[in-house]
Structure 1
Amino acid sequence: MPFGAHEALEVHEVLNEKVCMIDHFAQYEQQAGDPALKDMIRRHRQAALRHYNDLVSYSHDYAGVVPNEVQFSQVASPNSIHYGLRNPNPVAPVAAPTAQLYDEQICRAVLLSHKNSAKNNVAASLECADPYIRQMLMNAANSANYHAYEVFEYMNRLGMYQVPTMQGHTAKTMLHSYQQY
């Protein structure tokens, strides 16, 4: 079964992105100081490798993988998230870059990689006619979404990613303006 033009181009872009992610995550894992961060990056890199290999395999012979929808059971409780700003550190580019990244830089890079991967995989899936390619791309998007949330939780727990809040009942008032039909 041949690929359509959109599928071929989208899969090409997703695979390029995945190669970059896998290569960068290997470097981040080596440079991370916190063992928990190293472990998280290692697991995320392994998942990216699986998605990459599945997509490459299927694109070569159209039979390498029959994807199932990925289910994730680990959902955080809203009570575990720290809301509000507590004197956040200023963020700016490093004036004199060094070869060694620090953990917060690594976390931001990993988080942004996952966010972009999720968006790009969803967008690519919308251009694909082949149902297996669509499902593989959606699985990769879901995986990136959950991995991004895991990085967010790690950063939030350490005060690296603070969640601003609104004054008083502003959010509630805004959201309660919508009524069921």
Structure 2
Amino acid sequence: MNISPQFNHGAHEIFDVHEVLSCTIGALNKYTVLRSKVKDQELLDILDRQHQFMQQTYNTIVDCFKSGQDPAVPTKTYMMKENNTFKFGLTPTQPKKPIQSETEINDEIISGWMLGSAKSLATVKTGAAMETTNPVVRRVLADSIPNCIEMAYEISIYQNKNGYYQVPQLPITDMQAIMQSYAPASEAVAAR
């Protein structure tokens, strides 16, 4: 049966891509609402760059989803400005708790919501890409997953630098013991 590229989608794919696009709209809306509440210029720069990138990715997915063919604007690569430096260790802080008022929204909370959005998009796009039948849509979804990961990583570095996201570390002897507990697989030929 010869199907037009526009309708080269399985039912499961339709629902999965619908979920990807709905989650992306949710993330874009969240970024738009939160923008006016950001205090730190660095976080505002990250938010603006990520919003712009997510919007372009959304448009690319919509384009190939509707046409079933290569999008007019292909998937691009998100480039963060942050370096890859994490501060390790724990510093005592006040216990976290839910806010009681919108006036308590601050850069820590905003960056946490941004991190959650990027992680959610990576998860939903991964699930959709594995079940998408249209090869163009599947490739666009798959190619966009590393960008979600990069955005989440950028936010986690920002949070770590500002003390919002602490990274505990095992003692070196424990790390070495675990790291040394694995060896490469042998290249033995499987029995037939």
Q: Is the pair's TM-score, using the shorter chain for normalization, greater than 0.5?
A: yes
Cα RMSD for the two superposed structures? 2.1
Q: 1:1-150 maps to which residues of 2 (within 5 A)?
A: 1=5, 2=7, 3-63=9-69, 65=71, 70-71=76-77, 80-94=85-99, 96-99=100-103, 101-150=105-154
Report % sequence identity.
Answer: 25
1:34–1:19 CA distance, 2 compared to 1 (3 A): same
Instruction: Give the aligned partner of residue 184 of structure 2.
Output: 180
Task: Give me the TM-score of the superposition, normalised by structure 2.
Answer: 0.84
- Which of 135-144 and 13-22 deviates more? 135-144
Task: Give me the TM-score of the superposition, normalised by structure 1.
Answer: 0.89
* Distance in structure 2 (CA, Å) of the matches to 1:31 and 1:119: 27
Corresponding pairs, count: 179
1:171 to 169, 175, 185: 175
Name the SS for the 1:170 alignment partner: helix
Q: Give the letter for the 2:175 counterpart.
A: A
Name the SS for the 1:31 alignment partner: coil
1:103-152 deviation per Cα after TM superposition (whole angstroms, max 9, x unaligned):
10001000011011111111110001222111211222111100111111
Unaligned runs of 5+ in 1: none
1:98–1:77 CA distance, 2 compared to 1 (3 A): closer
- Which of 82-91 and 34-43 deviates more? 82-91
Decide whether the 8 Å contact of 2:122 with 2:145 is kept in 1.
yes
Name the SS for the 1:65 alignment partner: coil
Decide whether the 8 Å contact of 1:81 with 1:156 is kept in 2.
yes
1:128–1:112 CA distance, 2 compared to 1 (3 A): same
Unaligned runs of 5+ in 2: 186-192
* Distance in structure 2 (CA, Å) of the matches to 1:124 and 1:89: 39
